[in-house]
A and B are shown apart, each in its own frame.
Chain A
Amino acid sequence: MRPVTAEEIESLAIGAWILGTGGGGSPYLALLNMRQLYKQGVVCRLMDASELADDDLVAVVSNMGAPLVGQERLTDPKTMALAVTMMEEYLGRKFRALMSLEIGGGNSIQPFMGAAMLDLPVIDGDCMGRAFPEAQMTSFAIHDLRMYPLTLADVRDNAVVVARAASWKWMERISRKACVEVGSIASTCKAPRTGKEIKECAILGSTTKAIGIGRAVQAARRAHRDPIDAVLDVTGGIKIFGGKIHDIARRTTEGFLRGTATIEGLDQFRGHAFKLAFQNEFAVGWLDGDPRVMTPDLICVLDTVAGDAIGTETLRYGQRVTVIALPAPPILLTPKGIEHVGPRAFGYDLDFRSVFA
């Protein structure tokens, strides 16, 4: 267990936005909350999963809802803490620590907000290693762990316990319905996990990894080096393409932001075209019409100069972007993992082939 500095939270916000692979929501407002809390003297602690006893309980948390609503109903650490304490009341047991559902985007910081209120440590890990759009796209689902109960709290003191669900899909449907009813933004505490489950089924070390990516970007900027090279260095990632956004089409279907972006090559990629398809997060990329990179390999689109991640909602014509691929956590690459989060899970009739293979 070790204290997390305010600087590390800043790095986490940058790194997590990159790991968001276009989704997960901007960490900006969560970061602002952490700055406020640290100003008040809060210091969060990061805990290695190995420090957990097998029968400890861990709260897996996330903010749920529409990113746009989150820009008006600003996220608040009290609501996150409420979802966690409600789960404790329902279970009649106390949590030992909090953990993030997804390390990609704003949800990387949510457990720190809750932990600050509850004086609990945060586990160094998550269950996606990135961001994904659906509830069954987690390492816990791949391991067939139980998906209930779930608690959901909104800022007005409305709260829901989903005591049971027949499947991950049902859990998604029921909790989504409750979320919409309270204004499409809510704090959730997912099915509680034992220390043993965390140690065996979570994607461990992803918080440290995100902090490291953010720190590399910041250091590169300070030294006027290329921040994208810095990201590739610390992650073992690959530069896939670089150019200008030439066309962008978005639509929502079944509550997801789907669409495509076309990039026209510049520099070493001049004369080539790259197409990206997304469902909240980037799913598949084609180089001159041939599949080049696909989920679960992480497909990240970064501002070519600043190295900041660009979300699928903020892509726009003319942006200068670099597409990079980062290796996916091994659990996502197993046959069962590919079933849950491979290209076919997103509706693409492609056999998964990793760019790192």
Chain B
Amino acid sequence: MRRRIGIDVGGTNTDAVLLEEDAVVATVKTPTTPDVTTGITRALAGLVERAPAAREAQAVMIGTTHFTNAVVQRRDLGRVAAVRIGLPSGASLPPFVDWPEDLADLVRAEVVMLEGGHEFDGRPLVPFDARGMRAAARRIRETGIRSVAVAAVFSPLNATCEEEAAAILRDACPDVAVTCSHRLGRIGLLERENAALLNACLIELARKTTRAFTEALRGSGIAAPLYLTQNDGTVMLAEVAETYPVYSFASGPTNSMRGAAFLSKRDEALVIDVGGTTTDIGSLRHGFPREANSVVEIGGVRTLFRMPDLLSLGLGGGTLVRREPALTIGPASVGYRLTEQALVFGGDVLTVTDVAVAAGLIDLGDRSRVASLPGALVDAALTHIRAMIEEGVDRVSEVLNVPHQAVANAVGAAIAQVSGEVDQIFQDLTRDEAIARARQAAEDKAVAAGADRATINVVEVEDLPLAYLPGNSLRTRVRVVGEIARQP
């Protein structure tokens, strides 16, 4: 029996589910605790109580916003030395250049810029300044910096400069954690470097947190390996998450979409996730959320993380409905204060929830408090809401309300797989050859991350011919996913 536990640590609730094969057999909802782990321990205890077989689970997947929140709230961040390899290019835009000042002041311990890096075709830009790197490593050791981020020009195409720098650092200061940018991102030096810097400043917190998660798990009598979910709907082992906490950024919306896909048994669907403040609409392709191309900011820092491409409408349960001068809905919301401010909860603010209760669509709070709302107003508001959602979705053949939708995020975590991705420029190859090569490299990456090779599927192929580059340059991105290989 294949048993998996999924846990979603949200801002309000910590949810846990047990899956046996493809069936949800137990669910738990508990309040999130400030230390996170207590909430997880409680959720697991609840799960074991409802289904003792949870102890025999073969894998536990946790989805958490802990690391994103640390950046957004500027807490528990470590100080970082930034090593940029690419001089003489890029000298005018050093590391941290477009960061919010408060965050940069908190994180920036040292900035080192060295000669090196590569061209788009793999030729060296200039020889790598290994001597300068050794001198920098000695300085880093002396100043007691614990974490270093290394970013070299075109490292996604040729990582040798970053790897050499990391080797020098490991040699000179073995206790220092090193984050190489080519492990994290795609083409776009500043955004990739930002990801490496964010990762480096989270690395100590990640170590502490993932170990606390593991202890919570062991304390619950569960021996299964622990995984953390990533923003692309796949997972990484807790040991990997210790080193790459940024991969967990924005896994929440992904888990919700993947959970909905699983619960509805549809691979091609639109998922509408209605929250208190927004309604997020995303598109599933092959059971995975379609990703956004655009730049994603985390705590004010530009990154190129893979995020679900969501259309966020200012329409949730707490969204304000105004009657004057004309009927308007949102985007303002009472948010988590719904239970104090909405009419049905004794407040004096007309919200979408009140409209739904008045229309008899849901039963919540004190229905008598909305009895006096004019029927025409309720109808007009519903028409307006319907129009808002209709603009976000099109050509929908069927609307499904899925079972266990309240714990869809935890389900999404439980079903996560392992992925591998390659984003590279190929020259003078046919499109098919370039994609075949990228696919092979992506499969190797997935297997290295713990996937069972026999189960690997290609979920995304994207190719973009590059204007102005010679020799039929083709930027090719291939992403594959596979089931977690059973432990030997």
- A157: chain B residues within 8 A (beta carbon): 88
CA distance A157 to B470 in the complex (A): 22
Interface assignment of B400: CB less than 8 Å from any CB of chain A: no
A window 56-80: CB within 8 A of B: 65-69, 71-78
Compute how far the CA of A250 lies from the CA of B97 in the bound complex, rounded to whole angstroms.
33
**Residues on A with beta carbons closer than 8 Å to the beta carbon of B189:** 71-72, 74
Stretch at the interface among B64-72, B252-260, B341-349, B459-467: B459-467
> Smallest distance from the beta carbon of B190 to chain A beta carbons, Å?
7
Residues of B within 8 A of A313 (CB): 464, 467
Alpha-carbon separation in the docked complex, A176 to B86 (Å): 23
Q: Contact between B89 and A67 (Cβ–Cβ < 8 Å)?
A: no
B466 in contact with A73 (CB, 8 Å): no
Minimum C-beta distance from A170 to chain B (A): 18
Instruction: Tell yes or no: A2 within 8 A of B by CB.
Output: no
The stretch among B38-46, B118-126, B198-206 that forms the contact with chain A is B118-126
Evaluate contact between B88 and A72: CB separation under 8 angstroms. no
Given the known inter-chain contacts A74-B190, A314-B294, please indicate yes or no for A66 contacting B469, CB distance below 8 A: yes
Q: Which residue of A lies closest to B153 (CB)?
A: A72
B475 within 8 A of A: yes
Q: Confirm or deny: A161 has a beta carbon within 8 angstroms of a beta carbon on chain B.
A: no
> B97 and A32: CB pair below 8 A?
yes
A239-281 CB mask vs B (1 if < 8 Å, else 0) is: 0000010000011100111000000101000000000000010
Report the minimal beta-carbon distance from B70 to chain A, rounded to whole angstroms: 26
Cβ-defined partner of A257 (8 Å) among B119, B293, B465: B465
Take A36-B92, A313-B464 as given contacts and tell me if A68 and B120 are in contact as well, using a CB distance cutoff of 8 Å.
yes
Q: Is A196 an interface residue (CB 8 A)?
A: no
Instruction: Return chain B residues, CB-CB under 8 Å to A72.
Output: 86, 117, 120, 153-154, 187-189
Is A71 touching B90 in the complex (CB atoms < 8 A)?
no
Which residue from A33, A73, A250, A266 sits with its C-beta under 8 Å from B465? A250
On whether the beta carbons of A183 and B120 are closer than 8 Å, the reply is yes
Which residue of the partner chain B has the closest CB to A246?
B394
The CA of A157 and the CA of B154, in the complex, are separated in Å by: 20
B274 on the A face (CB < 8 A): no
* Chain A nearest CB, measured from B253 CB (Å): 16
Interface residue A221 (Cβ < 8 Å from any Cβ of B):
no
Task: List residues of chain A with CB within 8 A of the CB of B187.
Answer: 68, 71-72
CA distance A209 to B467 in the complex (A): 28
Whether B398 is near chain A, meaning CB under 8 Å from some CB there, is no
* Inter-chain contact A74/B468, CB cutoff 8 Å: no
Q: Mark B98-133, 1 if CB is under 8 A from A, else 0.
A: 100000000000000000010110010110000000
Please give me the residue from chain B that is nearest to A252 by CB atom: B465
Q: Are A252 and B467 in contact (CB under 8 A)?
A: yes
Given A68-B187, A280-B467: A76 and B92 within 8 A (CB)? yes
A120 contacts the other chain (CB 8 A): no
Which residues does chain A contribute within 8 Å of B97, judged by CB atoms? Answer: 32, 36
Q: Which of A151-166 contact B (CB under 8 A)?
A: 155-157
- Whole-angstrom distance between the Cβ of B145 and the nearest chain A Cβ: 25
A180 at the interface (CB under 8 A from B): yes
Determine how close the nearest CB of chain A comes to the CB of B310; give it in whole angstroms: 10
Given the complex of chains A and B, what is the CA–CA distance between A280 and B154 in angstroms? 23
- Residue in B closest to A26 when the chains form the complex, CB atoms: B295
Docked Cα-Cα span, A255 to B473, in Å, equals: 9
Which B residues lie within 8 Å of A76 (CB)? Answer: 89-93
Is A68 a contact partner of B475 (Cβ separation < 8 A)? yes
Q: List A contacts of B234 (CB < 8 A).
A: none
Given the known interface contacts A73-B89, A74-B90, the answer about A66 and B126 at a Cβ–Cβ threshold of 8 Å is no
Q: What's the minimum C-beta distance from A69 to chain B, rounded to whole angstroms?
A: 5
The CA of A33 and the CA of B90, in the complex, are separated in Å by 10
Which one, A68, A75, A318, contacts B283 given CB within 8 A?
A318
Contact across chains for B92 and A78 when beta carbons are under 8 A apart: yes
Interface membership of A184, Cβ < 8 A: yes
| Contact, CB under 8 Å: B294 / A252 | no
Cβ of B142 within 8 Å of any chain A Cβ, yes or no, is: no
What 0/1 readout, one digit per residue, does chain A (292-322) give for beta carbons within 8 Å of chain B?
0000000000000000000001101110000
What sequence of 0s and 1s flags, for each residue 181-203 of chain B, a beta carbon within 8 Å of any chain A beta carbon? 00000011110000000000000
Chain A min CB distance to B96 (Å): 12
Is B309 part of the contact surface with A, judged by Cβ < 8 Å?
yes
A29 close to B (CB within 8 Å): yes
Contact in complex: A71, B188 (CB < 8 Å): yes
Question: A270–B88 Cα gap in the complex (Å)?
Answer: 52
Chain A residues whose C-beta falls within 8 Å of the C-beta of B220 in the assembled complex:
none
CB A302 to nearest CB in B, in angstroms, measures: 14
Chain B proximity of A50: nearest CB distance (Å): 33
Would A183 and B470 be within 8 Å (CB), given that A36-B97, A72-B187, A252-B465 are in contact?
no
Contact assessment for A77 and B92 in the assembled complex, using a CB-CB cutoff below 8 Å: yes
Question: Given known contacts A72-B153, A180-B470, is B120 in contact with A155 (CB within 8 Å)?
Answer: no
> Which chain A residues lie closer than 8 Å to B466 at the CB level?
66, 68, 252, 257
B88 contact from A67, A155, A252, A266, Cβ within 8 A? A155
Q: How far is the CA of A72 from the CA of B90 in the complex (A)?
A: 8
Does any Cβ of A come within 8 Å of B391's Cβ? yes
Binary contact readout B421-433 vs A (1 if CB under 8 angstroms, 0 otherwise): 0000100000000
Kindly list chain B residues whose C-beta atoms are within 8 Å of the C-beta of A32. 93, 97-98
Q: Are A252 and B119 in contact (CB under 8 A)?
A: no
Q: Which single member of B93, B98, B293, B469 contacts A69 (CB below 8 Å)?
A: B469
Q: Which of chain B's residues has its CB closest to A310's CB? A: B294
Q: CA–CA, A66 to B121, complex, Å?
A: 13
Interface presence of B58 (CB below 8 A): no
Chain B CB count within 10 A is highest, among A184, A251, A256, A313, for A184
Q: How far is the CA of A264 from the CA of B93 in the complex (A)?
A: 40
> CA separation between A65 and B473, bound complex, in Å?
14
Chain B residues near A252: list those with CB within 8 A.
465-467, 469, 472-473
Tell me, rounded to whole Å, the shortest Cβ–Cβ distance linking B108 to chain A: 15
Q: How far is the CA of A67 from the CA of B120 in the complex (A)?
A: 12
- CB within 8 Å for A73 and B153 given contacts A66-B120, A78-B92: yes
**When the two chains form their complex, are residues B92 and A184 in contact, meaning their CB atoms are under 8 A apart?**
no
Closest to B291 in A: A316
Which chain A residue has the least Cβ–Cβ distance from B157?
A: A72
Cβ-closest chain A residue relative to B282:
A318
Q: Closest B-chain residue to A117, C-beta based? A: B92
- The answer to whether B93 touches A183 (Cβ under 8 A) is no
CA distance A142 to B68 in the complex (A): 54
A73-B470 in contact given A29-B93, A68-B120, A155-B89 (Cβ < 8 Å)? no
- Within 8 Å CB of B472, what residues of A? 252
Q: Mind listing 14 A-B residue pairs with CB under 8 Å?
A: A32-B93, A32-B98, A68-B475, A71-B189, A71-B190, A72-B117, A72-B120, A74-B189, A76-B90, A184-B119, A255-B470, A266-B391, A313-B467, A318-B311
> What 4 pairs between A and B have smallest CB-CB spacing?
A252-B465, A257-B467, A66-B468, A74-B90
* A-B contact sample (14 more), CB < 8 A, given A184-B470, A316-B309: A32-B93, A33-B93, A36-B93, A66-B466, A72-B154, A73-B89, A74-B189, A250-B465, A257-B467, A280-B467, A313-B464, A316-B293, A318-B283, A318-B290
